[in-house]
Chain A
């Protein structure tokens, strides 16, 4: 229970810091915006984001203030057991996606998309099963074919081509 409570506390602190950072950044950035542009009473383009930033900072402070108060039943309910998580696949998928987007210019959408799908399938299936690799290849090819038929042929969207081949 103590561990869960400290997790809650950590979340609250993170949220508060995030609110202060975003709110502070907006206040600093909008400080240089022109105050009046064709309006009568000083309500420039920075006015509305500034209002939101102030509210965000207030909410961040409110979360910290709540940490001081004795915990009620609601916050304890939030401590319910969370399933165990694996962060590695999440990081890997993000890296694969970044690689795919970066390579799209050189390999074109279809090749890079195929690589993204098949590598993601391989990443998820652990331990690697050689027998099912054929099925994974068929699935990945089928998905790319489906996207080609639906988006390029049916919807008429031209997906990025490779700079080396069409």
Chain B
């Protein structure tokens, strides 16, 4: 299908006021989740995913995309105003955003953050529109061996970039892969690790597992550090930035957006790394390099353009390969699967309307947060003051309802609680939730393709090395996992000999 027809195929959806309402509602919910420190886009999407069960696949995706985009933007509000990042992707925003607030320029910082987020987001969507169909076209030529390599790539990258050590990231991913094996074997239908439970025969449901690891675990972590800090939100005025300044900053906005989209498209990288990389590069090459960190608008623009562009970037591997770019796209994959849709190259041929709706929904969400950001930032900023003693029980009860709703069974609430507790305990020893969930989502893809490759080759393991693309992917995997260790080892050895 042509790129242009793919862009326009979903336009009729937006003639339906209910669909438009869902994007707006999702974006506003996303802004609320993003603005409150400690609540993330992932948590918001996981909690509200069950609400999409009764919606059509298109409307469900629009609602979730709204939350994703809205939260990604709103993380900047608390980062700028009180130096507490609302979401991990807005950490770099606070480097200059908070010093601007201290100088009495909170409104100006929010204005720049809003415009940069919007332009970065639009840039990301445009790259998505052109890159995803091309990558999907290439992926159609992929065989099981290449898909095995791509799935392994996602796992390697998430392990490498996850907080703490790479080995622990990898252990987390393998725990996720193992959780995905519970239930009937995909090829032989033999029940694995079910311990006689009928509920486990069909495997663990994606929603309670995701909500457990992302929602309940976070509630438990926040609960143990429960300190109610009295937050004073500064006055917000003069939000609209001047046009001349925006024009002056447009080249750097474009560069940050490009970096953000590229980093976001790397499986498992996400907005936090995108904004850090963009901020670092802009600081390195800027004429005002020494002023970064003291409260200059360029710093806010660099970080915000990148983390919002990363949304479009993260959707590229998700739509074209079925590989999640970050935890949020893992939830979107879950939403597609609930509707019986398999994300990947075939989706472009079978459901162009859905692909187009995702593009357009993303753009509409950007429009919503731009309006809300410029006109209502001062009101949304008050959300930062909502006490945690009300937020945490509310999240907990939403997690419980959401998990129950998928199959109307109390067993899923036990799964939710079990996963939440497991996630909390694993976090205590440095194994984070993101690699576990990405492992869980990638599990069926990896197992299916890995075993099919071996079946097709009659058990010959060299099948992964004789196909060029598969070989390249495996080499990249090895480089990601082993490269940094070897590099450090040789560096230490060289130092020792000198």
Interface on A for B, CB 8 Å cutoff? 11, 14-15, 18-19, 22, 26, 29-30, 33-34, 37-49, 52-53, 55-56, 59-60, 62-63, 66, 72, 74-75, 78, 83-87, 89-90, 93-94, 97-98, 100-101, 104-105, 109, 113, 116-117, 120-121, 124-125, 139-140, 143, 147, 150-151, 154-160
Docked CA distance A37–B220 (Å): 43
Q: Which of B243-270 contact A (CB under 8 A)?
A: none
CB <8 Å contact, A45 and B397: no
Q: Which of B397-418 contact A (CB under 8 A)?
A: 397-398, 400-401, 404-405, 408, 410, 413-414, 417
Chain A positions within 8 Å of B177 at CB level = 52
Chain A positions within 8 Å of B429 at CB level = 11, 14-15, 18
CB <8 Å contact, A45 and B192: yes
Q: A11-B429, A52-B177, A101-B414 are in contact. Are A90 and B192 (CB under 8 A)?
A: no
Q: A18-B429, A90-B224, A155-B54 are in contact. Are A72 and B188 (CB under 8 A)?
A: no
Nearest residue, chain A, Cβ from B48: A150
CB <8 Å contact, B389 and A22: no
CB <8 Å contact, A55 and B405: no
Q: Say if the beta carbon of B459 comes within 8 Å of chain A.
A: yes
CB <8 Å contact, A38 and B188: yes
Q: Which of B196-226 contact A (CB under 8 A)?
A: 219-220, 223-226
Chain A positions within 8 Å of B455 at CB level = 39-41, 43
Q: Say if the beta carbon of B51 comes within 8 Å of chain A.
A: yes
Q: What distance in Å separates the Cβ of A29 from its nearest Cβ neighbour in chain B?
A: 7
Q: Say if the beta carbon of B171 comes within 8 Å of chain A.
A: yes
Secondary structure at the B interface, as helix, strand, loop or mixed, is helix
Chain A positions within 8 Å of B451 at CB level = 43, 47-48
CB <8 Å contact, B447 and A48: yes
CB <8 Å contact, A124 and B51: no
CB <8 Å contact, B224 and A89: yes
Q: Say if the beta carbon of B242 comes within 8 Å of chain A.
A: no
Among B223, B400, B492, the one with the most A-chain Cβ atoms within 10 Å of its Cβ is B223
Chain A positions within 8 Å of B174 at CB level = 52, 55-56, 59
Q: What distance in Å separates the Cβ of A38 from its nearest Cβ neighbour in chain B?
A: 7
Chain A positions within 8 Å of B219 at CB level = 93
Docked CA distance A41–B455 (Å): 8
Chain B positions within 8 Å of A63 at CB level = 167-168, 171
Task: Produce 1/0 per residue, B333-369, CB < 8 A to A.
Answer: 0000000000000000000000000000000000000
Q: A45-B188, A121-B389 are in contact. Are A78 and B224 (CB under 8 A)?
A: no
Q: Say if the beta carbon of B104 comes within 8 Å of chain A.
A: no
**Interface range on chain B: under 10, 10 to 19, 20 to 34, or 35 or more?**
35 or more
Q: Say if the beta carbon of B396 comes within 8 Å of chain A.
A: yes
Q: A101-B410, A117-B393 are in contact. Are A90 and B220 (CB under 8 A)?
A: yes
Task: Produce 1/0 per residue, B163-178, CB < 8 A to A.
Answer: 0110110110011011
CB <8 Å contact, B193 and A29: yes
Q: A18-B429, A124-B226, A147-B401 are in contact. Are A49 and B389 (CB under 8 A)?
A: no
Docked CA distance A22–B451 (Å): 22
Q: A44-B188, A56-B174, A59-B167 are in contact. Are A15 and B223 (CB under 8 A)?
A: no
Contact of A159 among B175, B190, B396, B401 (CB under 8 A): B401
Nearest residue, chain A, Cβ from B390: A139
Q: What distance in Å separates the Cβ of A163 from its nearest Cβ neighbour in chain B?
A: 13
Q: What distance in Å separates the Cβ of A47 from its nearest Cβ neighbour in chain B?
A: 7
CB <8 Å contact, B408 and A158: yes
CB <8 Å contact, A41 and B459: yes
Docked CA distance A116–B413 (Å): 14
CB <8 Å contact, A22 and B450: no
Docked CA distance A125–B393 (Å): 12
CB <8 Å contact, B430 and A83: no
Q: A89-B226, A93-B220, A113-B397 are in contact. Are A43 and B492 (CB under 8 A)?
A: no
Chain A positions within 8 Å of B392 at CB level = 120, 124
